[in-house]
Chains A and B, each alone.
Chain A
């Protein structure tokens, strides 16, 4: 996409997230040609849309489409994906002798979908199964963030009834793309939190002046911006490096950055940010859940550290 095309693309998506959420947003994305964009310019489609989705605090099943794009299987367009359980990034399916055990999460489209794509690790390869959703138990998640529309999925299906398809590229490549998508959503949410806190700091008056005058307040907001920019920088760089390691670093920085943003912005918003009168709490809830999708920052950080210690060197990254 060139600059002008990107602007038109972004404007269309911005209108969509401002007007719709859930199934209506899925329909709007279809109409806007976002799925085609995803296939042709994955970078722009993912970075622009997921930032907007996070920023507007809406939900969709765009993550399912990202996985479909990454796995590159000819799955029915209406099928949903089973995501790993919260905090994890290994495949959500497990094969034993004659059965496929499924445990994970789904986005809001899964209850209405006829089939769910489940990836499982087989010997030396990853395989995908299209499982009729009627074979699975779905529980709508309320939890920390009911508006996200997640469902919890579990079930055991006889393998004979299913046709496995080899997944190529393998699961780690799909995880990497999903991590970038959720990473941008976290960055979008964090930017909105920062803007809410910024507006409050400029208008809330204490001791005869806006609280934005106080260095303690200014520095919290400055640190929030640094955390967001750090995460976004690695997210953007990840498209060049195309390595699962970099995507995991980006996701970890986005998760940690969004939680840093949440902590600082809540403190700046003070009393009003603790009420449901103010929209801040919706973002604070969302980033906790998003941090857990496809690997929480803490676990991803520990794993990276263990890998670096084992190799006794840093992976090569971001050549000029």
Chain B
């Protein structure tokens, strides 16, 4: 399947099935509504085949270039059919399963994620482990019949909806840093897992605290081998900064277009609009090159931190412009459109924090791309 053919048939299909893809009329205001909408879209696009292109056949895909996935997410985002943040979790977690899970586990599980039957989450951060991921302490202990996991995770996106969790655990000595980490694929309905959603500033309980109290995890749920968890995490992060990021860029473009349509005459300064537009051009050019490298089978690495810095800058720049151009809506408006602008503005404040802070990205660039040596 070539991109041009995929684009044509997908666009036609989306035109014809818009009423089915949008049963509630819009992407939804609450997280519950957005999750329900996402399940509808994933199911329909999977059954029609579009969601399966770009994934290997051994996990239920139809093969073909990962560029097809980038285009699918872009098309769904441009049409306002999905919220890109929750849609793109697939782009982050499915590649990890494909690369590190036992083949039969990946073959069973990945189709459920693609089809929208299941939601998965990513258990990385902990109360004492934010930027310094290698210091995590959620403990997995080896027993005769599997792992026993005890500890706590935090900022776990969508945990309250998730059936599974890609979980980083400490299996080495407490001070073993990145060497003693093991990744596990955990069923969220296991005895001893407790999820407490966190109220956030933008009003959607997108993150949760997750508690593990002596949770049993079979050995065949180990991703990679014992002690390989750091590699799993390091290989996962570039996926957060490739296809998922292309979808985010599409979302920012779509929202800027919305702003241009909604802002009162004279509310926006040409110079400010020009600068934001240029940033979106830069993000899209950079991310397109990354999509092509991924499609060519290149291994993505620290250079994707540049993409991440650009997307965070672009997201905050777009919504800073929203706060200027639609000041009354954002500050004092109470209709649904105003509430959405406000929610998105507030969420954009996290763009330089989640998925590796702006400072961590600059540290990576300094050390790995500029070869400035260790900072310690």
Contact = CB atoms under 8 A, between A and B. Distances in A.
A276 B70 CA distance: 50
A234 B362 CA distance: 21
Contacts of A229: 286, 306
Contact of B365 (A222, A253, A305): A222
A314 B258 CA distance: 11
Interface string B351-365: 000000001011101
Nearest to B369: A225
Nearest to A224: B370
Contacts of A213: 373-376
Contacts of A309: 260, 268, 270, 273
A226 B352 CA distance: 15
B269 interface: yes
A298 B286 CA distance: 22
Most buried by B among A229, A246, A306: A229
B286 A314 contact: no
A75 B273 CA distance: 40
Interface string B225-269: 000000000000000000000100000010011001100000011
B275 interface: yes
A317 B362 contact: no
B282 A253 contact: yes
A161 B69 CA distance: 62
A212 B374 CA distance: 9
B310 interface: yes
B13 interface: no
Contact of B373 (A194, A202, A223, A314): A202
Contacts of A300: 274
Given A219-B362, A303-B274, A314 B253 contact: yes
Given A221-B370, A303-B274, A246 B281 contact: yes
Contacts of A222: 309, 361-363, 365-366, 369-370
Given A309-B268, A314-B257, A234 B282 contact: yes
Interface in B317-376: 359, 361-363, 365-367, 369-376
B126 interface: no
Chain A interface helix/strand/loop/mixed: helix
B36 interface: no
Interface string B60-84: 0000000100110010000000000
A120 interface: no
A249 B74 contact: no
A215 B260 contact: no
B359 A219 contact: yes
B260 A308 contact: yes
A237 interface: yes
Given A201-B372, A202-B372, A237-B288, A313 B257 contact: yes
Interface string A277-320: 00000000000000000000010111111101100111001101
Contacts of B281: 234, 237, 246, 249, 253, 317-318
Contact of A302 (B274, B362, B366, B374): B274
Contact of A219 (B253, B285, B366): B366
Interface of A: 194, 198, 201-202, 210, 212-215, 218-219, 221-223, 225-226, 229-231, 233-234, 236-237, 246, 249, 252-253, 298, 300-306, 308-309, 312-314, 317-318, 320
16 contacts: A218-B367, A229-B306, A230-B286, A233-B285, A234-B278, A302-B270, A302-B274, A304-B273, A305-B272, A305-B274, A309-B270, A314-B257, A314-B260, A320-B3, A320-B70, A320-B288
